[in-house]
Amino acid sequence: MEQSHVSALQMKHAGIERQLRDEMSRPLPDLSLVQTLKKRKLRIKEELSTA
Q: What is the reported pTM? A: 0.85
Residues of the chain with pLDDT under 50: none
pLDDT (0 to 100) of residue 2: 87
29 DSSP assignment: -
pLDDT (0 to 100) of residue 1: 67
Alpha-carbon distances of 44 from 17, 27, 28, rounded to whole Å: 11, 28, 26
Dist. CA 25–CA 50, nearest whole Å: 32
